[in-house]
Amino acid sequence: MGEKITLSVIKADIGSLAGHHKVHPDTMLAATRVLADAKKNGLLIDYYVTAVGDDLQLIMTHKKGTDNKEIHGTAWNAFEEAAKVAKDLGLYAAGQDLLSSSFSGNVRGMGPGVAEMEFNERPAEPIVVFMADKTEPGAFNLPLYKIFADPFNTAGLVIDPRMHDGFIFTVLDVYEGKAIDFNIPQDLYDLLALIGTPSRYVVKFVHRKDGEIASVISSERLSLIAGKYIGKDDPVMIVRAQSGFPALGEILEPFSFPHLVEGWMRGSHTGPLMPVGIKDAKMTRFDGPPRVAALGFNIKNGNLIGPSDLFDDVAYDETRRQAQIIAEYMRRHGPFMPHRLGPEDMEYTTLPDVLKKLEKRFRPFELGYKPKLRHELEEL
């Protein structure tokens, strides 16, 4: 076993170019300077700064473990420096995700999204960092199910003895702040009963049965932190690959299906998740469609070797085409559900204000029956 390394992926929307569209390179540079200093000072072993849509992404390696004050503080500084540049350049929504004016020891709950894992580095440690924009953490539920629980996706679940025992999924109820573990494949149907509601139940970790961490996902929901709609909670995810974990191709395979996710325009619409290379990771049509990029690295003595831009590949052309067709089909519904989200998920958007305004204009109407609403039925 190699050294204990922590991989921290921390992201925030600190302002973007031409609307909620794309990170400006100067803001990336400002963040890079902070991480370069932290590397020089020995706090970070290595780092990689990138961006997907309007989200600035900090990928960092170190030996400080997860939830470390110095690491989170460094990420916060990087975002603040980047936000300063965003303000100077007059970029849109400068400082958007920095919900607090001062750092309080951990960026979780302050706006940024966080996915961190600590592990003993294997002799070869391939990992994939997924970064999505215009969607929410639950968007990874379906791909995670396929990667770690579906033998039609992951051949290794059937034919690799090291994976044959299955995995443990930790699922969060992000409304209540509760976690539950599912032993897969035994608890498969119970798992699906929850994670099919991705706005509330979010896969947070996947572990191998021997305790090795396989995947971690950011679970911060901005609207639940701020109590109002600010931006969608564009998520990040880390997955370890190969030799006892799913193969790289098994990890990427679910993204060949552009499944429907919540987010898109004003965080209030359903649309297909389109896998793209970093060069195409910018939001255009109806502020989307929601996109996901994936960078593949090897970690060696904590150094980030790579990356390879995994979806920047012809093998995903058909998926992208399919995503465009689905986007077109969904868009034709305009403001109608299920393209527009249901009222439960619109809770924190501006729609409640519109409905409130209309309240005064409602008058009684004799339906001819007394409607029995579900919660009343439950009380009977």
Binding partner selected for residue 266 from Mg ion, ligand F6R, none, CB under the kind-specific 5 to 8 Å limit: ligand F6R
d(CA 236, CA 35): 19
Spatial contact of 35 and 72, defined as CB atoms under 8 Å apart = no
Name residues contacting ligand F6R, limited to 287-306 (CB under 6 A).
Answer: 287
113 near ligand F6R, judged by CB under 6 A: no
Q: Which is nearer to ligand F6R, 357 or 375 (CB)?
A: 357
The residue annotated as part of the active site, out of 229, 233, 234, 316, is 229
Which of 265, 323, 326, 330 binds ligand F6R (CB under 6 A)? It is 265
Q: Which of 84, 108, 72 is nearest to 233 (CA)?
A: 108
Q: Least distance from C-beta 265 to Mg ion, angstroms?
A: 12
Which of 137, 138, 156, 231 binds ligand F6R (CB under 6 A)? It is 231
230 near ligand F6R, judged by CB under 6 A: no
> SS3 string of 75-115?
HHHHHHHHHHHHHHHCCECCCCCCCCCCCCCCCCCCCCEEE
232 near ligand F6R, judged by CB under 6 A: yes
User: Is 232 among the residues known to form the active site?
Assistant: yes
Q: Which is nearer to ligand F6R, 208 or 266 (CB)?
A: 266
The residue annotated as part of the active site, out of 232, 233, 234, 287, is 232
Both structure tokens of 115? 């996915």
Which of 72, 146, 240, 266 binds ligand F6R (CB under 6 A)? It is 266
Binding partner selected for residue 136 from Mg ion, ligand F6R, none, CB under the kind-specific 5 to 8 Å limit: none
The residue annotated as part of the active site, out of 13, 55, 97, 309, is 13
137 near ligand F6R, judged by CB under 6 A: no
Binding partner selected for residue 55 from ligand F6R, Mg ion, none, CB under the kind-specific 5 to 8 Å limit: Mg ion
Q: Which of 243, 251, 179, 185 is nearest to 212 (CA)?
A: 243
Spatial contact of 194 and 171, defined as CB atoms under 8 Å apart = yes
Q: Which residues contact 177 (CB under 8 A, 6 or more apart)?
A: none
Q: Least distance from C-beta 280 to Mg ion, angstroms?
A: 15
267 near ligand F6R, judged by CB under 6 A: yes
Q: Which of 265, 259, 287 is nearest to 195 (CA)?
A: 259
Binding partner selected for residue 340 from Mg ion, ligand F6R, none, CB under the kind-specific 5 to 8 Å limit: none
User: Is 13 among the residues known to form the active site?
Assistant: yes
> SS3 string of 191-221?
HHHHHCCCCCEEEEEEEECCCCEEEEECCCC
Binding site for Mg ion (CB under 5 A): 13, 20, 53-55, 93, 133, 231, 234
Q: Least distance from C-beta 337 to ligand F6R, angstroms?
A: 18
Both structure tokens of 289? 């469609």
Residues making contact with ligand F6R (CB under 6 A): 19-20, 93, 134, 231-232, 265-267, 287
Q: Catalytic amino acids?
A: 13, 229, 232
